[in-house]
Amino acid sequence: MGWLDALRGFAAVVVALFHLSPAVLGMDVHRAILPVFDLGRYGVFLFFLVSGYVIPMSLERHGSLRKFWVGRLFRIYPAYLTTIVLILGLVALDLLTVNQGLKSETATGLLGHMTMLHEFLGMRGLIWPFWTLAYEMLFYLVVAGLFVWGLHRFSAYWAGGLALVALVVGSRLPDAFVGHRVADRRTLAVVVLVSFVAMVAAYLSGRRPLVMFAGVVGIEFLALPLVNGHATKWTTASGSWQAILMLSLLFAGTVIYRMHHGQIDRRLGAGALGVVLVALMVTNYLYTGRERDLVVWSTAGLAVAATFAAGFALRHRPMPKALTWLGEVSYSVYLLHMVLLYVLQELVPADMRGGPVGRAGFGLLFWACTLLAAWLCYRFVEKPGQALGRKVQDLLQQRLGPDTEPPVPAPRAETAVEGPTVVLPQVGAGSH
């Protein structure tokens, strides 16, 4: 899957370039480009599409919810927690500041960061790029729930349906059904944390009644973006309709995965992808009336579609090692680049960052620090974390035995688009 690593690495570079561009190109040039093409939005959309493709593949390859969750937790939390510790250390040194919303609602912010779902609690992340982690985690929870009940086979309907909800009735969705008051947000944070821990514990136990109940709760987490997508001014999404639109993009990645492996009809999949793309392009304009939104979201959406299509078309060819390496360290690049940018802007005097030479030098310094820090984090945090996760999987398998089968069979790919037929686990196969 070198092409997916390459896309992931490219997306990480794009997001980092977006945040770096004011310092290198100058704020005037950055602002002139933004109304036409939003590089950051493009990079995040590409990340979402890749995640939507990879996550169901990871879950269904083994058919084990226990392996999936242990793998996910030990894949994402070590680097995430390391970044948080680094940020708090820099705050203590007065090199970074904490968002005002987190200062005023520390308890809610802390609880939200524990689950990565702070975005749906009305809390800004310790650094802004954390907002995408909330959508990734929500996707994990929902997809796991759908898998338990055999509803994951309907990816095209989930992708297209969510996009249509955003497009047609999005303006009628409440933005802060639970979130108008500080006490409400704190209570919701507690409920979300308890539900999250209970769900993961149920999946790890492998006991069918608990797993089935956890699946229901996971699907119910769809309520967060549906009715609480913009709980406060600190939330990144402009409204619940936009939060749902983001989630539909993740499901669009899953549709591509199923089309690739012959698990759904191509016409159905293409129709769903078309609905998502159209919704992505026009929904914001319909609700804001700003022509700029139509241009920015359209250019980003079309560019992402073209980029993913190009990567898919080249999937059989060897990928440049630089891109696949960037794919390996992309998570650390994404987490750390903004932190390093803030710190470097504090440490490097403004007069040394001015002029073409100063800006170019600052850009090179930023990339040297970012890539080095990302490699160190990957080598000494991410990889050991993943290795520990595999040990935990083996230990749980020995102590608790194999997972329980999901109550509904997973889909079977009868006619693969290419290569060998992909057969996913069936009930009674002893793979769950």
Residue 132: per-residue pLDDT: 98
CB 338 within 8 A of CB 19: yes
Distance separating alpha carbons of residues 235 and 228, to the nearest angstrom: 10
User: How would you class 357 by CB atoms within 10 Å of its CB: exposed for 0-12, middle for 13-18, buried for 19 or more?
Assistant: exposed
Distance separating alpha carbons of residues 34 and 293, to the nearest angstrom: 11
Residues in CB range of 368: below 8 A, 6 or more apart: none
Coil/strand/helix, residue 415: coil
CB 139 within 8 A of CB 55: yes
Q: Which helix (H) or strand (E) holds 219?
A: helix 208-220
Residue 102: per-residue pLDDT: 93
Low pLDDT (below 50) residues in the chain: 407-432
277, two tokens: 């793309």
User: Within 13 Å and on the Cβ side, how many CA atoms surround 266?
Assistant: 6
Residues in CB range of 180: below 8 A, 6 or more apart: none
Residue that has been written with the tokens 């919701």 in this structure: 188
Residue 401: per-residue pLDDT: 87
Question: Which among 146, 130, 135 is positioned nearest to 214, based on CA atoms?
Answer: 146
Rounded to 5 degrees, what are φ and ψ at 242? Answer: -75, -35
Distance separating alpha carbons of residues 20 and 354, to the nearest angstrom: 14
Rounded-to-10 torsion of CA 6, 8, 10, 16: -150
Every domain of the chain and the residues it spans = 64-291+342-400
pTM: 0.92
Question: Which among 179, 157, 283, 155 is positioned nearest to 232, based on CA atoms?
Answer: 179
CB 256 within 8 A of CB 56: no
Q: Which helix (H) or strand (E) holds 190?
A: helix 182-205
Measured in Å, how far apart are the chain's first and last C-alpha atoms?
24
Calculate the alpha carbon distances from 380 to 133, 332, 338, 387 in Å: 21, 11, 20, 11
CB 121 within 8 A of CB 188: yes
Q: Measured over all CA atoms, what is the biggest interatomic distance in the chain, rounded to whole angstroms?
A: 68
Distance separating alpha carbons of residues 264 and 411, to the nearest angstrom: 9
Residue-wise DSSP of 81-92: HHHHHHHHHHHH
User: Within 13 Å and on the Cβ side, how many CA atoms surround 262?
Assistant: 13
Q: Which helix (H) or strand (E) holds 231?
A: none
Distance separating alpha carbons of residues 394 and 402, to the nearest angstrom: 10
Residue 404: per-residue pLDDT: 60
Distance separating alpha carbons of residues 291 and 170, to the nearest angstrom: 19
Residues in CB range of 31: below 8 A, 6 or more apart: none
User: How would you class 221 by CB atoms within 10 Å of its CB: exposed for 0-12, middle for 13-18, buried for 19 or more?
Assistant: buried
Question: Which among 303, 390, 381 is positioned nearest to 86, based on CA atoms?
Answer: 381
Distance separating alpha carbons of residues 161 and 163, to the nearest angstrom: 5
